[in-house]
Chains A and B, each alone.
Chain A
Amino acid sequence: MERLHFRDFFKNFLYDLEDFITIYENHLHVFNYQKLTKLSETNIILIVKNMEVNITGENLKIKQMTKQELLINGKILKVEFAYV
């Protein structure tokens, strides 16, 4: 993970977590997601392990993206989790 959030990378290394989601002001960082199912200005749906993560917000944009990580930028209003 060359340039994506060193802090989170080390946090993940120390906690030894397989996946996690971190919410900052106007940012949302997802580590180890499996699939990006929906992407729009107000809604992003991701599959993380066996859960569907539904992010609702305004002016949502993908700031950085790798095979494992996503950094979403925008006004985040709601994050919902549902087992799939």
Chain B
Amino acid sequence: MSRDKIIWVKINTKSYYNILVKLNDIGITIYDNKFKKDYILIETKYEDYKRIKKYLVSYKISIYESTGIDKFKEIFNKYIVFSCGIIISIVILFIANMTVFKIDIKTSNKKIYDIVERELNKNGLKRLTLKKEHFKIEKIVSKILDENKDTLEWLEIKYDGLVMIVNVTEKTQTKKEEEYPNCNIIARTDAKISSLNIYRGIPLKEINDYVTKGEVILSGSITHNEEIKNNVCADGEVYGEVWYKVKIELPFKETITKYTGKNRYNLNIKIDDDKYTILKSRLKQKKEEEINLYKLNDFEINLIKEKEYVKEENILSKDEAYNKAIKLATEKINLKLRENEKILVKKVLKKELNDSTIYLEVFIVTKENIGVRQVVKEEALNDNKHISESNE
């Protein structure tokens, strides 16, 4: 310990004035002092501490080390400029992080952009204002949607760093039926009709009929005695059985990725498109998951979770390869299916095995909505009218 160092010395005493007179008598320098119930703390030089120990032998004297909140106060006071700097920086960073610097309304329609911007301003969502809580945002969104029922279909407000992103979908005015005076329901693909729900129009096909792609199933032309009396827009649901032949070739040998359970954390800084990783990664093969910690325009700080994995080779048995190939074929067809559509039948047509691969041809029957609307052009209508008139 340096001899010039200033320290706090604790002297056990109940008399404040007596001890100070004694310290004065032996010429001790006191820079500060605090008197407690059973002791006095004096701030003095280390050299003087030695002298106090030497002359005041009847007292219990020790160097006082502050702990807890006192220690914190001491450090804070010692580095007051630095501490204040840190606190001010944190406060500024906190306020900046809570502030919206940019509003990004995602629409290309100028009219919608203006409406949304006006509504946001009206509800206090402006640039350089504090971010609002989630429940308040939800309230504002439903209020804006209520007030603009005719123009806005959907609205979402979310924060990405300092940017408020507003996703908006304008209300698409469904074309009125009058715009399509005549339309048919035709087959989207070759199929066998399994169910027919007619809302409007004349059915030209029945259940269990086979149809080819483009064939009219429901007609919008209402005829009587081969004469077109009226044109409507045919509407209905037509479900049919559709057939697929799926070819799958699968090797017995497959490479699988196995996670070892070893994770490492890292940090990276992104400035524009440049990325700088702070720590050197020690994992050879890894998958990275990025969690954004801070974002200011094009500057980002991200926490990276690195998950180690190893690649292992796996040899499938014939049965395993067969089941997997069937599963892949099913998945391939399932990707095409929409709501209320399903696979009805699966049948293996061809199976070939060699040393390294399995080859399958799978026949799949599905139930699908095969009807699509086809608008009949006006020229065609006029031609039809003309034909009917000439027949008369």
Asked if residues B21 and A39 are in contact (CB atoms below 8 Å), the reply is yes
Interface residue B61 (Cβ < 8 Å from any Cβ of A): no
Interface string of B31-60 (1 = CB under 8 A from A): 111010000000000000000000000000
Number of cross-chain contacts by CB at 8 Å: 31
Residues A64 and B32 in contact, CB atoms below 8 Å apart: yes
> Is A66 within 8 A of B20, CB to CB?
no
State the CA gap A36–B31 with chains docked (Å). 17
Interface size on A, residues (CB 8 A): 13
Whole-angstrom distance between the alpha carbons of A62 and B33 in the complex? 8
Docked-complex contact A64 and B24, CB < 8 angstroms? no
Establish whether residues A41 and B31, one from each chain, have CB atoms under 8 Å apart when the complex forms: no
Question: Are A64 and B17 in touch, CB under 8 angstroms?
Answer: no
Contact residue among B17, B23, B35 (Cβ-Cβ distance under 8 Å from A65): B23
Q: How far is the CA of A36 from the CA of B20 in the complex (A)?
A: 10
With a CB–CB cut-off of 8 A, which chain B residues contact A5?
none
Least distance between A38 CB and chain B CB atoms (Å): 8
Please indicate the chain B residues that have their CB under 8 angstroms from the CB of A7 in the complex.
Answer: none
A2, A40, A61, A62 — which one has the most chain B CB atoms within 10 A of its CB? A62
Taking a contact as CB atoms under 8 Å apart, the answer to whether A64 and B30 are in contact is yes
Interface membership of B29, Cβ < 8 A: yes
Is the CB of A78 closer than 8 A to any CB of chain B?
A: no
The reply to whether A65 and B32 contact each other, CB–CB distance below 8 Å, is no
When the two chains form their complex, are residues A39 and B30 in contact, meaning their CB atoms are under 8 A apart?
A: no
Question: Is A67 a contact partner of B29 (Cβ separation < 8 A)?
Answer: yes
What is the distance, in angstroms, from B307's C-beta to the closest C-beta of chain A? Answer: 58
A65 & B30 in contact (Cβ 8 Å cutoff)? yes
What CA separation (Å) do A64 and B42 show in the bound complex?
10
Instruction: Identify 25 residue pairs between A and B in the complex whose beta-carbon atoms are under 8 Å apart, listed by A's number.
Output: A2-B31, A3-B31, A36-B21, A36-B24, A36-B25, A39-B17, A39-B20, A39-B21, A39-B24, A41-B17, A61-B16, A62-B20, A62-B30, A62-B33, A63-B32, A64-B30, A64-B32, A65-B20, A65-B23, A65-B24, A65-B29, A65-B30, A66-B29, A66-B30, A67-B29
Q: Which residues of A contact B (CB under 8 A)?
A: 2-3, 36, 39-41, 61-67
